[in-house]
């Protein structure tokens, strides 16, 4: 029977190594199947996180041959019989084997206020233009796999979790900021603690998104433009100050204090080992 060879990271924050396994290949096999085979037949202590096996829960994120991917969406046939390396996401603290602590992402999400409906649209069904529905729908496809967070060099290489919420949260803010019913001006938060200016539009996040959300083009760049309009466009500023351009009537919002979101200091600007 044909075999699949995998080199899987085994270890925890104190250290680890790549361990080689061979499993029987079955038709339609994905990397998560191979990991399950190892757990079932060879080593029940191998830790991995998964849930749906349908590329919808966002749990099985890992680095496969060095690239952030979902294990349940990666066919072993892609590797043409070569050994497949499987490791944990490197941007987040390692718990064990393929499992990392992604709680920082949820803490950042908690800092983003939810939709606050403008008074004129409150209490009745939204009547929206189709173009607005389509725009927001793209952001809502996110499955919170955090592969985009894992690949982003601001988070991964420079560990600036203290200064940038990351691409996933930019998608979340874009879905709110561009919702016609939202009554919050989110631009101060974007400029300050969310750190939209830290992104230098490399588009790596877009490349790894399993939901094909055009993170950079459709979320981050429009958010950057809105911040630039409000804070860095001298002509618009002058026109607003003399009343030719209207001032934004939305309620301004800057931040939720850290003590309200109990942020664990995973990111301090120091590089992780």
Which residues contribute to the site for ligand SF4 (CB under 6 A)?
142-148, 151-154, 167-168, 171, 199-205, 208-211, 213, 215-216, 220
231 binds ligand FES (CB under 6 A): no
CB distance 89 to 63 below 8 Å? yes
CB distance 182 to 115 below 8 Å? yes
Between 30 and 163, CB nearer to ligand FES: 30
Q: Which of 18, 19, 29, 57 binds ligand FES (CB under 6 A)?
A: 57
CB distance 5 to 20 below 8 Å? yes
Q: Which of 48, 70, 176, 190 binds ligand FES (CB under 6 A)?
A: 70
Between 87 and 210, CB nearer to ligand SF4: 210
Q: What separation, in Å, do the N-terminal and C-terminal C-alpha atoms of the chain show?
A: 40
* 51 interface partner picked from ligand FES, ligand SF4, none, CB below 5 to 8 A per type: ligand FES
Q: Which of 52, 133, 251, 264 binds ligand FES (CB under 6 A)?
A: 52
DSSP conformation letters of 12-28: ETTEEEEEEEEEE--TT
Between 205 and 227, CB nearer to ligand SF4: 205
**DSSP assignment letter at 230:** H
Distance, in Å, from the CA atom of 110 to the CA atom of 35, rounded to the nearest integer, reads 33
CB distance 159 to 268 below 8 Å? yes
* 152 interface partner picked from ligand SF4, ligand FES, none, CB below 5 to 8 A per type: ligand SF4
- Provide the minimum distance between the beta carbon of 17 and ligand FES in the complex, in angstroms, as a whole number: 25
CA-nearest of 195, 186, 196 to 162 is: 195
72 binds ligand FES (CB under 6 A): yes
198 binds ligand FES (CB under 6 A): no
């Amino acid at each position: 029977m044909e075999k699949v060879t995998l080199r899987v990271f085994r270890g925890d924050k104190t250290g680890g190594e790549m361990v080689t396994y061979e499993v029987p290949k079955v038709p339609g096999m994905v990397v998560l199947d191979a990991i399950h085979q190892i757990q079932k037949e060879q080593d029940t202590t191998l830790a991995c996180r998964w849930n749906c096996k349908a590329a919808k829960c966002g749990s099985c994120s890992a680095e496969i041959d060095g690239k952030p991917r979902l294990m349940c969406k990666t066919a072993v046939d892609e590797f043409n019989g070569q050994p497949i390396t499987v490791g944990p996401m490197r941007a987040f603290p390692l718990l064990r084997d393929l499992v990392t602590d992604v709680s920082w992402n949820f803490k950042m999400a908690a800092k983003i206020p939810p939709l606050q409906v403008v008074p004129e649209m409150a209490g009745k069904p939204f009547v929206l233009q189709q173009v607005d529905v389509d725009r927001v729908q793209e952001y809502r496809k996110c499955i919170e796999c955090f592969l985009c967070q894992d690949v982003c060099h601001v988070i991964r290489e420079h560990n600036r979790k203290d200064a940038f919420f990351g691409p996933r949260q930019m998608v979340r803010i874009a879905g709110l900021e561009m919702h016609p019913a939202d009554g919050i001006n989110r631009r101060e938060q974007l400029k300050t603690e969310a750190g939209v200016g830290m992104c230098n539009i490399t588009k790596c996040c877009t490349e790894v998104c399993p939901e094909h959300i055009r993170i950079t083009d459709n979320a981050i760049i429009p958010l950057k433009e809105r911040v630039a309009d409000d804070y860095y466009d001298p002509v618009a500023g002058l026109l607003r100050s003399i009343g030719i351009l209207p001032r934004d009537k939305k309620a301004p919002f800057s931040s939720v204090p850290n003590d309200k979101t109990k942020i664990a200091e995973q990111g301090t600007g120091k590089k992780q080992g």
